[in-house]
Each structure stands twice: as C-alpha cells, then as structure tokens.
Amino acid sequence: MKHLVRAVAAAALVVAAPVLAHAEPTIIKFAHVVAANTPKGLAADHFKTCAEAKLPGRVVVEVYPSSQLFDDDNVLEAMLLGDVQFAAPSLSKFNKYTRKLDIFDLPFLFDDLAAAERFQHSAAGQSLLTSMEDKGILGLGYWHNGMKQLSANTPLRVPADAAGKKFRVQPSDILTAQFDAVGALAVKKPFSEVFMLLQTKAIDGQENTWSNIYSQRYHEVQKYITETNHGLLDYLLVTSAEYWNGLPADMRTVLSGCLDEATGVNNKAAYDKSVGDKQKVIAAGTSEVLTLTPEEKAQWRDAMKPVWNKFKDVIGEDLIEAAVASNQSPQ
C-alpha cells in the first residue's frame, strides 16, 4: 500500500511539474477611448512596456485604445465586474459614482493646466481619489490632457455666436448647463461618435483639447476653432479596489511604480501636445484658429460662470474655494 501511495504521489508530481513551470501570466487589460498617439495612449503603452519588463512571464498587459474594448460609459461597470483592470476616463465621466469630481467641469475654474495640477496635488484634490471607494472604485492618480477649446462651422467669438447651435458634450450636467448658459443646446454623446456627428452635421460643434481635436481630426470637419481655454479635460486613473487589494504585494508595488512612470509620460505629452497639436492644426490649414481678445474672453466667462452657483451645493463650497486658490502660484 505504501508503495502504491508513493507511486501515485510521484505520478501527480510528474503531471503537475510542467504546469507549474509554465504558469500562465496574469492578463491585465487597460481600456481607453483615445488614439494611441495622445497623452493617455502613450501612457497606457508605457505602462505595458514597464510592467512586462519588470514582471517577465508574470503579467501580460493588453492595451485597447480607441474604444476597441469599452466606451467610457460602460468601462467602469466592466472594471467592477473584472472584465478590465485599468482605465483613465475623463473626470467628467464619474458622476454616476460621485458628484465630487464634477468640480473639474466648472467652466473657467482653472486658469491653466498648472493650476489644475496644484489643486490635484493639494490635500483637497488628493482626497477625491478615494471619493468612490464605497462603490469599489479606487483612484490611483490624475492624468492631464489639457484645456478645452470650442469649435463650430461658424466663428465663435462671443457667447451670442453659440446661441441656437448644437454642441456635443461628455455625460455631465455641468457641461450641459454651461452650453445652456450661452443659449446653445448640449447633446451628450460618446467620444467615439463625435467625428461622424460633426462630419454629417448632426451637431454644429464640440469642445475638446488640442490633442483630441488633432488626433480625432475634428479640424478637418470644423471650419473654426476658438481658443477659449474655458474648461479642463483631465483624467482619473482608476482600478477596482477589490482587484488592487487582491494583487500579490510585490506585484502591486511594481505595477504602482510603472503607473507612476506612466503618469510622467502622460503629463509631459499633455504639456507638449497642448502646444504642438495646436500648431499641427494650424499647419493643416483646414480650419481657422481664432484667438479671443481679453474683452471677448471676459464675455464667455461672465456668461458661463453663473453655472457654479447651480452646482455649488452638490460639489461643496470648500472644495470650490480650494480649487480657486490653486490659481495663485506659490511665491
């Protein structure tokens, strides 16, 4: 009997050994909606390169750009179901889970990207990373894209020029209210549909950053782009808390380091592209880029800023004050 037990155990080892030697790597999926050659696209690709180099044979990272796997309106649900592990949707796309992040949609809140970064790094900004913990979503950090510009097929110099026109917005009530405030109509549509909607003239205009305008070729289907810098489009890098906390500690440490590196890649590209992609749009010559006078810009600010009042209670006045304070750079 003893011999039989030993023989069975030995046979089991022979069968198990190749399985252990060739343990399958963990698949990590990172889904996003933009093109690969954008700040977020470059950052996701850097994360893949870094993670696979530092965890050889243990992880394979699959990056799905251009809404190939999920659109932003279903990626968070998919993440909670374990169908995707990382995403970095625009900050305008979390309002089903928290209203705190709505703050980033307030028009004319930040003077520039540097001010947004100061707020994101402040105690108030950092506290928002965990604002969806009770829903199982963990914010791992902010990624920049840039300040938004307005486009249409007629010149938009003052708010009255937008009246009666239909603009695509992300799924945010603040962005809808912002266009209501200038007498325009906002339509909430997924990013993947915007080019087609502009091309077929189902909508008149849109708001987005230089990098998204250039990489999605909006400048080929819009005659005028006004440099309004009226709002921010940044991202929250997220994962599921259950997934993140369930990772082996050493793997989590390495992935965390790679995500930090990816943040650096993202933010450098965001600053570079906010200048470089604007120049590429101008060089393409398919649309005219309009620069506002200080008086014209003040008209947009005066028309849109009353929107703050409508949303101050859901966001919290303290949070808004902290964001406004970030416009003062430290001496």
Chain residues binding ligand SIN by CB under 6 A are: 33-34, 90, 145, 170, 191, 208, 212, 233
Closest separation between CB of residue 223 and ligand SIN, Å?
Answer: 20
Q: How many CB atoms are located within 10 Å of the residue 172 CB?
A: 22
What are the distances in angstroms from CA 290 to CA 83, 222, 283? Answer: 43, 12, 14
Residue with Cβ nearer ligand SIN (145 or 274): 145
Closest separation between CB of residue 254 and ligand SIN, Å?
Answer: 26
Contact (CB, 8 A) for 217 and 195? yes
Residue with Cβ nearer ligand SIN (175 or 303): 175
Distance CA 67, CA 221 (A): 21
Distance CA 222, CA 208 (A): 12
Closest separation between CB of residue 147 and ligand SIN, Å?
Answer: 13
Closest separation between CB of residue 208 and ligand SIN, Å?
Answer: 5
Residue with Cβ nearer ligand SIN (32 or 157): 32
Longest dimension (CA), the chain: 95
Distance CA 101, CA 98 (A): 6
Contact (CB, 8 A) for 61 and 86? no
Closest separation between CB of residue 90 and ligand SIN, Å?
Answer: 4
Closest CA to 107 of 188, 200, 169: 169
Distance CA 234, CA 39 (A): 10
Closest CA to 166 of 206, 130, 133, 213: 206
How many residues can be counted in the chain? 331
Residue with Cβ nearer ligand SIN (48 or 273): 273
Closest separation between CB of residue 329 and ligand SIN, Å?
Answer: 26
Residue with Cβ nearer ligand SIN (208 or 326): 208
Closest separation between CB of residue 9 and ligand SIN, Å?
Answer: 55
The backbone torsions φ and ψ at residue 233, rounded to the nearest 5 degrees and listed phi first, read: -125, 100
Residue with Cβ nearer ligand SIN (76 or 158): 76
Contact (CB, 8 A) for 107 and 231? yes
Residue with Cβ nearer ligand SIN (191 or 300): 191
Residue with Cβ nearer ligand SIN (161 or 207): 207
Closest separation between CB of residue 285 and ligand SIN, Å?
Answer: 24
Crossing angle for the helix pair 307-315 and 317-325, to the nearest 10 degrees: 110
Sign of CA dihedral 189, 191, 192, 197: positive
